[in-house]
Structure 1
């Protein structure tokens, strides 16, 4: 079984193998590590390993394999598997297991592993245990497993079944861009090796096939051309997914406004990258209904992954467009409860076919909101000149000093939301675990991504996100050009801007979860250079050389006032109103 798994992964060209230590997975570990084709990584913490593998796959586009031992090890993969499921990242989870006859009898490191990930994988299978291996043990403990057909013939049937399951798992992982799970029961002994395999090598390499579903677009183009208010809203998207020529055509139409998020990796002077800066002032206006109806599109065209902005979601759910179309080969979420049509195509392919059928429509839609955008950009600069040191001001300093041509990994919660308020250099490629939007694996993902990235990687994270995932630094794969910026506001600062925040012991303990830990100790343990800024001048000084070449990775801790940050952020929206 182990030989077959290894040979099929090789035939499919999967090089990245992330292994967590154990005994039951020894046949798999030996098979992968003894073959120079594979790049094997050792990550002790399975939760970290899953996010590390996701980061590798995110950058290489080749997918990654996870290998763990039996028992609770598999359960620790679940947060990363769920993130990969919602982020459309191929991941092959291969869990070793005890034989079925040793489950629920009091044996150590055993749980019910079959189908344990089923809700968040696109394929799940339990491979059949070999009967040609440890035959004497099987005959003694579970004689009913041995049929009357003879060991050789029975093993041939098991082999055919396992090959079909493995092939189907890998086909789905790459064609559907999703995680899959193979559970592999092994009987002892586990560490035996042999000079040559017992099974035939599959006739690869295998190709990935992602079908397009072309449609007759003229009727939709006619609708588009007759509308004076079209909104394009773009969520998480890989850099370069849509050509600049296509973006230019959208941007030049006065009847179209393109709202982008930091994670969309799209840029154009006519686009609207700070969505909340448009919507929040309307929420506070006495003319709220009038202005929202002015912003309300006739047609909403969406593509990309999850949307960060809660404000745009609330607006479009209340002021729904007449038509909502979504572009994606795989899925379409009815985020705004008005989805009309799902075009099952890659966004770039759709736009290449669709835009030549469209024409510019005279409209004041884009010009009006472009003027609003210019006003809030001017007011943002005024506001920055007036406020004290805080998360808001620190994030602006970081963005202003961030190098071009880097990979930027953003943690969730406050970090990704602050990033929406400032313009990054167009050459910066932005990533964030927005599939489940959890804080648990940001560092591990960034470390894995950095290992495979062709440019330096910077992670911006909050203190709780960083502390939650310090095991992401517990490996030998940190590049010296890896940089971490921790916005340390002493707790979960985002809860202070949510409704219901109160200055009580209960709030500080169970929601904000205040902390006073010294991050320098973590840096010393994991071999990172540590710097700390507590005011604007210290921060600007440290940022001058923070991104330059160094012998080891660096972490910059930015300490901001816990009880002031939320007031400054909320006051920003009042100020630009």
Structure 2
């Protein structure tokens, strides 16, 4: 069965032709033609998620994991605005998200009709493309005002003219839909297709009335211009201090042989983050651990001649502060699409994938520059690791010790989704199991959709997905659990320190009523009743013994997803973290 409306048929057929398989639908009436079409076609995997904000992040999680466009479908009105946080995240994280919003016809907008807002170009500051489709001409009431039409000589002439208008509208809509989806696939980002429907909305037919044209993406293999490579060779071969800093990066996107080759160059150090998904014994994977204790003289010694960056946004504030103060002579960013001037010294945007650049560049590097850069900082790193382990032995039960235990417990080859704020920052301080694939919403770094994203990611793969989050982030997105698609092997670990613990390490007047209420937002809520309501197994821990016991069986197979809530003493967490960096000195 198909929706009767040709425009709905056109959207659905083109989504199918473009391989958009996952469709996340939120209930509504105006989007009924799309819902009918998607849910009656076995090609599509359709999901019903009531809360549009959760639905959009759920879709984002699928697209983040698969790197393929995923569609969200909503009714008209404020429903569409609830997509905005996820759209912004997709925009800054280069995730292909396709927003399909149903709308009322133009003549019903701005007259006080219900569930109606100005939907045209609503995401214009955070979208790669906005397609505003045209309403089908189904009868005379949809015809433009008579003054916009020529005078018809007879009735036959009138119908020929209307037929021509409909053909023009159909062609326009096909081209706009093709363009939007192609851009999302090619440039990896969000697009918005706004689709007006007039009533009746629920009529169905057994045969398609339109056969839309599929416009393929023009494939053009990108090449790095020879003069750019030549300039890079000259600078590289003369620099004795070269730093490579990697942000958010898809797993297995860089060939291991290039990582090995970089590690053998004494003039190169490679700094990675938990979200970089790159591993090598010689790489520096806990940046803050390295940077925080440095004296001013040591910082000057670490200052690179050349900085190469690739991947998404950087978590570490300390490396940002360092590189803004001690700027490299040159900053090259490797990315097919964008280059952020994060450190205010960008002078070379190399439009290629990192793997493509290293494939064309490294084999032609003529010689290694004699340098102690790598050796010196490798020795510093080893000293940091020794002090890190010593400090851990002295600690009481706290956020720090909990993250240490949790991160060591995650089974091999799992997907690790990490919430924002303190969760990702604690994760950055530890060596992770290199078989894990790590994801975090670092585009906008918000806490608003972390749980929904993690569940979407879990749905998109068969591996076990483990989600680590803080209490505020979890409670903020608790509607994420309101769906029927959470896999049985999905695991949530909530580190509950009764508020926004990260604010306690920032400058401010702690332990006052004002701070507790408006910054830390102190609370006594737990996830126990939410787990019961949504049918998840629940276990809690409040000390080392309970945590060890809970983790012993937490990842085992079961009939329901599981939540482990770990309660830590908020009064000491901030001091332990601040003392950690002092101790590294």
Q: Name the TM-score class by shorter chain.
A: over 0.9
User: What is the CA distance between 1:61 and its match in structure 2?
Assistant: 2.4
Match of 2:173 among 151, 159, 162: 162
Match of 2:17 among 7, 11, 14: 11
Alignment length, in residue pairs? Answer: 568
Report the Cα distance in structure 2 between the residues aligned to 1:55 and 1:28, rounded to whole angstroms: 22
Which residue of structure 1 aligns with residue 129 of structure 2? 123
Which residue of structure 2 aligns with residue 420 of structure 1? 428
CA offset digits 1:212-254 (Å, max 9, x no partner): 2412213211211211110000000000010111101111111
Which residue of structure 2 aligns with residue 302 of structure 1? 309
User: In 2 relative to 1, CA 409–355 (structure 1 residues): closer, same or farther, beyond 3 Å?
Assistant: same
Report the Cα distance in structure 2 between the residues aligned to 1:362 and 1:7, rounded to whole angstroms: 60
Which residue of structure 2 aligns with residue 94 of structure 1? 100
Report the Cα distance in structure 2 between the residues aligned to 1:307 and 1:557, rounded to whole angstroms: 28
Report the Cα distance in structure 1 between the residues aligned to 2:209 and 2:360, rounded to whole angstroms: 51
User: What is the CA distance between 1:456 and its match in structure 2?
Assistant: 0.5
Match of 1:175 among 186, 199, 203: 186
Match of 1:190 among 201, 212, 215: 201
Match of 1:279 among 282, 291, 302: 291
Match of 1:490 among 471, 474, 498: 498
Match of 2:567 among 555, 559, 568: 559
Report the Cα distance in structure 2 between the residues aligned to 1:518 and 1:310, rounded to whole angstroms: 30
Structure 2 residue 225 is matched with structure 1 residue 215: yes
Which residue of structure 1 aligns with residue 243 of structure 2? 231
Match of 1:569 among 532, 553, 577: 577
Q: Secondary structure at the match of 2:480?
A: helix
Structure 1 contact 411–442 (Cα < 8 Å) conserved: yes
Unaligned runs of 5+ in 2: 1-6, 153-157
Structure 2 residue 343 is matched with structure 1 residue 336: yes
TM-score normalised by L of structure 2:
0.95
Report the Cα distance in structure 2 between the residues aligned to 1:383 and 1:443, rounded to whole angstroms: 32
Match of 1:200 among 197, 208, 211: 211
Q: Secondary structure at the match of 1:258?
A: strand
User: What is the CA distance between 1:376 and its match in structure 2?
Assistant: 1.0
Q: Secondary structure at the match of 2:575?
A: helix
Q: Secondary structure at the match of 1:47?
A: helix
CA offset digits 1:166-186 (Å, max 9, x no partner): 111111111111111111111
Which residue of structure 2 aligns with residue 29 of structure 1? 35
CA offset digits 1:149-202 (Å, max 9, x no partner): 533222111101111111111111111111111111111100011111111143
Deviates more, 1:164-173 or 1:55-64: 55-64
Which residue of structure 2 aligns with residue 285 of structure 1? none
Which residue of structure 1 aligns with residue 90 of structure 2? 84
Report the Cα distance in structure 2 between the residues aligned to 1:325 and 1:564, rounded to whole angstroms: 42
Deviates more, 1:259-268 or 1:496-505: 496-505
Which residue of structure 2 aligns with residue 505 of structure 1? 513
User: What is the CA distance between 1:294 and its match in structure 2?
Assistant: 0.3
Report the Cα distance in structure 1 between the residues aligned to 2:525 and 2:140, rounded to whole angstroms: 56
Structure 2 contact 174–212 (Cα < 8 Å) conserved: no
Structure 2 contact 14–214 (Cα < 8 Å) conserved: no
Following TM superposition, the consecutive aligned residue runs of length 4 or more in structure 1 with deviations greater than 4 angstroms are 141-149
Match of 2:45 among 39, 44, 50: 39
User: What is the CA distance between 1:537 and its match in structure 2?
Assistant: 1.4
Match of 1:345 among 343, 349, 352: 352
Report the Cα distance in structure 2 between the residues aligned to 1:271 and 1:489, rounded to whole angstroms: 32
Structure 1 contact 254–360 (Cα < 8 Å) conserved: yes
Report the Cα distance in structure 2 between the residues aligned to 1:441 and 1:299, rounded to whole angstroms: 36
Structure 1 contact 138–145 (Cα < 8 Å) conserved: no
User: What is the CA distance between 1:145 and its match in structure 2?
Assistant: 7.7
Report the Cα distance in structure 1 between the residues aligned to 2:200 and 2:148, rounded to whole angstroms: 18
Structure 1 contact 7–202 (Cα < 8 Å) conserved: no
Structure 1 contact 176–210 (Cα < 8 Å) conserved: no
Report the Cα distance in structure 1 between the residues aligned to 2:332 and 2:455, rounded to whole angstroms: 36
Q: Secondary structure at the match of 2:446?
A: coil
User: In 2 relative to 1, CA 316–203 (structure 1 residues): closer, same or farther, beyond 3 Å?
Assistant: closer
User: What is the CA distance between 1:211 and its match in structure 2?
Assistant: 4.4
User: In 2 relative to 1, CA 467–209 (structure 1 residues): closer, same or farther, beyond 3 Å?
Assistant: farther
Structure 2 contact 186–217 (Cα < 8 Å) conserved: no
Report the Cα distance in structure 2 between the residues aligned to 1:487 and 1:321, rounded to whole angstroms: 38
Report the Cα distance in structure 2 between the residues aligned to 1:446 and 1:80, rounded to whole angstroms: 13
Which residue of structure 1 aligns with residue 275 of structure 2? 263
Which residue of structure 1 aligns with residue 55 of structure 2? 49
1:53-72 equivalences under 5 Å are 53-72=59-78
Report the Cα distance in structure 2 between the residues aligned to 1:483 and 1:67, rounded to whole angstroms: 27
Which residue of structure 1 aligns with residue 155 of structure 2? none
Structure 1 contact 101–142 (Cα < 8 Å) conserved: no
Structure 1 contact 233–259 (Cα < 8 Å) conserved: yes
C-alpha RMSD of the superposition: 1.4
Which residue of structure 2 aligns with residue 138 of structure 1? 142
User: What is the CA distance between 1:467 and its match in structure 2?
Assistant: 0.3
Report the Cα distance in structure 2 between the residues aligned to 1:351 and 1:60, rounded to whole angstroms: 24
User: What is the CA distance between 1:490 and its match in structure 2?
Assistant: 0.3
Q: Secondary structure at the match of 2:205?
A: coil
